[in-house]
């Protein structure tokens, strides 16, 4: 198991946003988390990536307990993520955004930048090469020098993924990578996720677009009101009574495909 959570819970005041969730991701898999709005999907990511401390439970990554580790340490260990509302460094170009993504794998410090020694040059080169490589991978090479403010939404989504990839992750958590983009663009992102898997990455995505989820995921977890109500292959989940009820019960209008 690459990642597993045991009895993971997060409460905000009285609200149990994530409630005793046991979940595991095998290496090399594409898995998906689905559920109605407000069911705790993003909160689950936030707890796994360390932005929120869990109220209870444990998180293991490669068998190591990372429950108390700070955010940046988890990324160093190999967990990368994107945000639901695409977050990028504004006032900077696509390339600059992605270069920072590889900073964590470099050791350049004050002394190195002062003397511009070998390590400095080596690290600058490493970051640039890595950035160009993941931009190529994400199909963004032609946008490298554009400021991120004036590229289309789909490209922004790709930049966010490219930044995550630049961290040299093992596991990538994608929070609604296809929200707010059209049908063709969604197909493009689907393709990209598949390419990531071929590269040996493990991907966990949250998505409301069922077609994309059913198409990509080998394993799906369904959350409702913070609780895991079902899990299994796409067919199993699609035919699960409890799941169907949960979706019908909540007037979920975000499901637009």
Ligand X SMILES: Nc1ncnc2c1ncn2[C@@H]1O[C@H](COP(=O)(O)OP(=O)(O)OP(=O)(O)O)[C@@H](O)[C@H]1O
Minimum Å gap between C-beta 107 and ligand X is 34
Using the contact rule CB under 6 A, the part of the chain among 10-18, 60-68, 134-142, 163-171 near ligand X is 10-18
Interacting partner of 90 out of Mg ion, ligand X, another protein, none (Cβ under 5 to 8 A depending on kind): another protein
Interacting partner of 17 out of another protein, Mg ion, ligand X, none (Cβ under 5 to 8 A depending on kind): ligand X
108 lies in the site for another protein, by CB under 8 A: yes
Interacting partner of 127 out of Mg ion, another protein, ligand X, none (Cβ under 5 to 8 A depending on kind): another protein
42 lies in the site for Mg ion, by CB under 5 A: yes
Beta bridge partners of 24: 4
Q: Which helix (H) or strand (E) holds 207?
A: none
* Alpha-carbon distances of 164 from 20, 62, 201, 219, rounded to whole Å: 28, 19, 12, 22
Q: 58 to 87, contacts with ligand X by CB under 6 A?
A: 84
Q: Which stretches of 167-218 are assigned E, i.e. beta strand?
A: 171-175, 202-206
Minimum Å gap between C-beta 244 and ligand X is 18
In sign, the C-alpha dihedral spanning 135, 130, 30, 178 is negative
Give the C-alpha separation, 83 to 74, whole Å: 16
84 lies in the site for Mg ion, by CB under 5 A: yes
Pairing state between β 30-34 and 56-61: unpaired
Contact residues toward Mg ion (CB under 5 A) are 42, 84
């Amino acid at each position: 198991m690459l990642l597993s959570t045991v009895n993971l819970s997060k409460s905000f005041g009285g609200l149990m946003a994530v409630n005793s969730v046991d979940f595991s991701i095998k290496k090399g898999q594409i898995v998906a988390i689905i559920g109605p709005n407000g069911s705790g999907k993003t909160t689950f990511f936030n707890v796994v990536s360390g932005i929120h401390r869990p109220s209870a439970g444990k998180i293991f990554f490669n068998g190591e307990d990372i429950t108390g580790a700070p955010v940046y340490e988890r990324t160093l260990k190999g967990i990368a993520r994107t945000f639901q509302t695409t977050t990028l460094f504004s006032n900077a170009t696509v390339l600059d955004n992605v270069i920072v993504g590889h900073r964590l794998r470099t050791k350049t410090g004050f002394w190195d930048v002062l003397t511009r020694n070998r390590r400095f040059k080596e690290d600058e080169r490493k970051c640039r090469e890595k950035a160009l490589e993941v931009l190529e991978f994400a199909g963004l090479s032609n946008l490298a020098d554009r400021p991120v403010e004036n590229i289309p939404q789909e490209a922004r989504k790709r930049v966010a993924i490219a930044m995550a990839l630049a961290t040299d992750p093992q596991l990538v958590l994608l929070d609604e990578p296809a929200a707010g983009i059209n049908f063709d663009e969604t197909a493009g992102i689907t393709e990209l996720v598949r390419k990531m898997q071929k590269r040996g990455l493990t991907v966990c995505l949250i998505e409301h677009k069922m077609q994309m989820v059913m198409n990509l995921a080998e394993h799906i977890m369904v959350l409702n009101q913070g609780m895991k109500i079902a899990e299994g292959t796409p067919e199993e989940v699609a035919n699960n009574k409890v799941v169907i009820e949960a979706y019908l019960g909540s007037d979920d209008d975000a499901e637009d495909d």
